[in-house]
Structure formats: structure tokens, C-alpha cells
Chain A
Amino acid sequence: MKALLALLALMLSVPSFAQSALPPAPYADRQIADPALEKKARTLMETIRCLTCQSQSIADSNASMAGDLRSQIRERILAGEQPEHIRAWLIERYGDWVSYEPTADPILWPLWAAPLLLLGLGLLILRGRIKRRRP
């Protein structure tokens, strides 16, 4: 019985990290009425990293700062700003870190080249096999 009560108490406990008591910003959890614009905002939000919970995108995070950033992105998209402009603005402040979208930075060239190299290797092996099959 005691164990059950303790278990119930555990279920009742609230997440312990400190968050603001203020209600979320207007567009934090409300979609834009125009589905095309909402899709634009949503696609961007899914590739922007949350600063509080660092392995989530701001679209997934419940952190208050992520909510504020979602609202800001929706408002800026509503005002006619392009998603890539907002991404560049954020990278200017937080570095490449904030974006999940890989850039064309030289350090990432191996990443872009890997699929091509693997495909080439596969073709080479395939050619070797076909040649061997009909001597």
C-alpha cells in the first residue's frame, strides 16, 4: 500500500526545472491560419535547435525559450520574411550550432562527398562481379 502511495506521489510530481510562470507567447503553440505559411514556419522550426534542451528542435521542445522562438518565427513569417533569412539571422547570433541543416562549410565537405564515394565504390564492386560472372 505504502509503495503504491509512493508511486502515485511520484506520478503527481511536477518537472523540477525552473521555468517562467508567464503564459506562452501568442504564436508559441498556435498555428498560422494560412496553411502554406504555417508549413513554411514549421519546416524552419524543425531544423532550429532548442537552446535549452540541446538535442531537440524548437518544434519539439517545451522549454519556454523554444516557445518564444517559435512565436517569433511565426510572426516573422507572417510579416513576409523568408525562412532562410531567419535562419541566417539566428546563425549570426548562435553560430552554425543552432541550425540542424548542414551548411556548405569546408569542414562538412566529407559529409556531402560520402554518399557519392559510397555509390562509386558500390558501382566498382558491381562491375567486378559482373565481369567475373561471364569470363
Chain B
Amino acid sequence: MRKLLIWLPLVLFLGFFGLFASGLLRPDDRIITSKLVGKPLPAFALPAAASDRPPLANMQLATGKPRLLNIFASWCVPCAAEAPQLMALKQAGVEIDAIAIRDARPDVDAFLKRYGNPYARIGLDARSEVQIALGSSGVPESFVIDGRGRIAYQHVGDIREDDVPMILNRLRSAK
């Protein structure tokens, strides 16, 4: 018994070493997904974020047809990088609404003028309240909303060029 016990510290050391090594070698995954995927959108009604687009409420997202809800901000750099992909989606016939986080109307107007405006409606979430209610953890994020107003899919981060076909597929299957 005593002889075996001598090996205990080494065994413990190797155990912890293995634990830390596996933690260090595992790729870093910091994406926090919303637990509301598969559930109805929370209720909200936001004022208009842009001068030439109507405001946004959750009821307007349940139109019997899947839509894309984009969370963006004029101060967010990856949101500008994602703009061409949103334009491509709009050209493919996707209806896109947006929520602008912690933003101001002149800034949103300038952003849309510079990078294009693919949005039908834009709500202004000046204090991130709807963003938090949606379980979203940053900008940009995109939610595929099905015809009944339920969240079918959440895309965290900007939509890259090679994500576009996948998003279209998600929209098609979210009937």
C-alpha cells in the first residue's frame, strides 16, 4: 500500500498535466450562441434607426415568409465588411430587417449611404435591450426568422462570401 502511495503525486501530476495540455491545445471557441434558437422572438417595438426606413417590431417579422434579422452598428467594422454579402442576399430576394445597436440616426444614415442599404425596416436599440433579450452577444449577428416569427438559425459574426449559400439554404428550410 505504502509503496503504491509513493506514485500518487506523480499520477496526480500527470493527470493535471494532461488536463492543462488538452485545454491549451483545444482550439479557442468563444462563440456564445443564443439559447432562443427554435423559440419565438421576444416581444419588442423599436423606434426607427434611419431617416428613410420604418421602425421595427417583432410582429413585423412573422409574415408567413422567412426573413433575415441582422444585428449591426455603424461603429462596428466587421458590419461594414459584411455589407456586400447582405446586398447579395437582398438581390437573391431575401427580405432583411435590422436592429442597430447603441447607435444614432445620423450615424446610421451615413453608414448606409456609404455601404449600401439592404434593409426593409431598421429598429434602433440604443441600450442593447433587444440585443440582450435575443441572447445575442455582439455585432454583427444575423438571425433567420421563420414565417411564424420563430428564430430558426443564428449566425454569429459577419456573413462571409462563402456563407451566403448556407444562409440561403437556412432561409429556404425555415418555411
Contacts and interface: CB of A to CB of B under 8 A. Distances in A.
Interface of A: 18-22, 25, 51-52, 54, 64-65, 68-69, 71-72, 90-95, 97-98
B35 A68 contact: no
A20 B32 contact: no
B36 interface: yes
Q: Chain B interface secondary structure, helix, strand, loop or mixed?
A: loop
A94 B135 contact: yes
A64 B131 CA distance: 12
A25 B134 CA distance: 19
B103 A93 contact: no
B102 A51 contact: no
B110 interface: no
Interface stretch (B15-23, B47-55, B122-130): B122-130
Given A20-B101, A64-B102, A72 B129 contact: yes
A66 B73 CA distance: 16
B45 interface: no
A100 to B, nearest CB: 14
A68 B129 contact: yes
